[in-house]
Amino acid sequence: MERATVIVAIDGPSGTGKSSTSKAVAAQLGLSYLDTGAQYRAITWWMVTNGIDIDDPSAIAAVAGKPEIISGTDPSAPTITVDGTDVAAAIRTQDVTSKVSAVSAVPEVRARITELQRSIAADAENGIVVEGRDIGTTVLPDADLKIFLTASPEARAARRSGELKSTDVQATREALLKRDAADSSRKTSPLAKADDAVEVDTSDLTLQQVIECVVTLVEEKRAAK
Ligand SMILES: Nc1ncnc2c1ncn2[C@@H]1O[C@H](COP(=O)(O)OP(=O)(O)OP(=O)(O)O)[C@@H](O)[C@H]1O
Ligand SMILES: Nc1ccn([C@H]2C[C@H](O)[C@@H](COP(=O)(O)O)O2)c(=O)n1
């Protein structure tokens, strides 16, 4: 029997497990995978590399259409290039992380990246898991399933510190909360839970438990289509 195409939106604050969960769910169910944070990081990297003043939204807006960002959507090997350069490692630096909220708040940047995201989702033959901050509310409001992942700041800081091999969990916690506050308070499509999203608190769940929970929700939606 043909499986129904399914579009899944996974949103939530930093460190709640969006990327790890989305990749695993997509791989398990044979779906494409799109990391929209990587796209905002990529455009931020381009602005920094080209000497654009990050504190000047009009300077960012004027060049928002210039970089060509290409996302590979295989969940077992996602890729991201800017003007043909592989930036997968470069977009994860502390410098980019500290500037991405300012760049992604510029409406012209969001319009450009949102259009790209919609076109990638429309081209995904078997369906796609798209993760970010505004996927359920703005990018794909008609998604078949919307998930909003949460976790306590303590759990998120502990996870992120483990990943970065940092012992300063308090500093990591403050940096996470600062980025969440900026992403939640911007005017254009802020980080928010869609009214029809299923909220999953991952604080006391293992990654495997979160993956199983989301796979079950997707399977239920597919069966009902
Ligand atoms: N339920 C969980 N239990 C323990 N560790 C987890 C869990 N979910 C994710 N992690 C770990 O937490 C870290 C952050 O996860 P991940 O990158 O998936 O979060 P994220 O929400 O995509 O973050 P960001 O928005 O900042 O990119 C990773 O090291 C991941 O392995
Ligand atoms: N849909 C999205 C996805 C991401 N962003 C911005 C805000 C985040 O702080 C930043 C990096 O995302 P991450 O790699 O940590 O998931 O990108 C957004 O505004 N909208």
Q: Is residue 224 part of a domain?
A: no
Average pLDDT over residues 190-198: 98
Burial 105-143 (b: 16+ CB within 10 A, else e): bbebbbebbbebbeebbeebeebbbbbbbbbbbbbbeeb
- Residue 1: is its pLDDT beyond 60? no
CATH number at residue 82: 3.40.50.300
Q: Is 46 inside any structural domain?
A: yes
125: which strand partners?
A: none
Say how far apart CA 208 and CA 144 lie, in whole Å.
22
More confident residue, 7 or 169: 7
Does any domain span residue 1? no
Report pLDDT for 2: 62
Distance from the alpha carbon of residue 1 to the mean position of ligand 1, in angstroms: 34
| pLDDT band of 162, cuts 50, 70, 90 | confident
Nearest CA to ligand 2 atom 16: 37
Q: Measured in angstroms, how far is the CA atom of residue 29 from the centroid of ligand 2?
A: 24
Structural domain includes residue 143 = yes
Let me know if residue 145 belongs to a domain.
yes
Residue 64 confidence (pLDDT): 98
Answer yes or no: is the C-beta of 185 below 6 A from any ligand 1 atom: no
- Does 104 appear as a known binding residue? no
Complex ipTM over 0.95: yes
Domain annotation covers residue 225: no
| Mean pLDDT in residue range 216-225 | 92
Please report the atom of ligand 1 found closest to the CA of residue 179.
Answer: 26
Q: Which domain holds residue 35?
A: 6-219
The least confident of 64-73, 171-180, 200-209 is: 171-180
Report how many domains make up the chain. 1
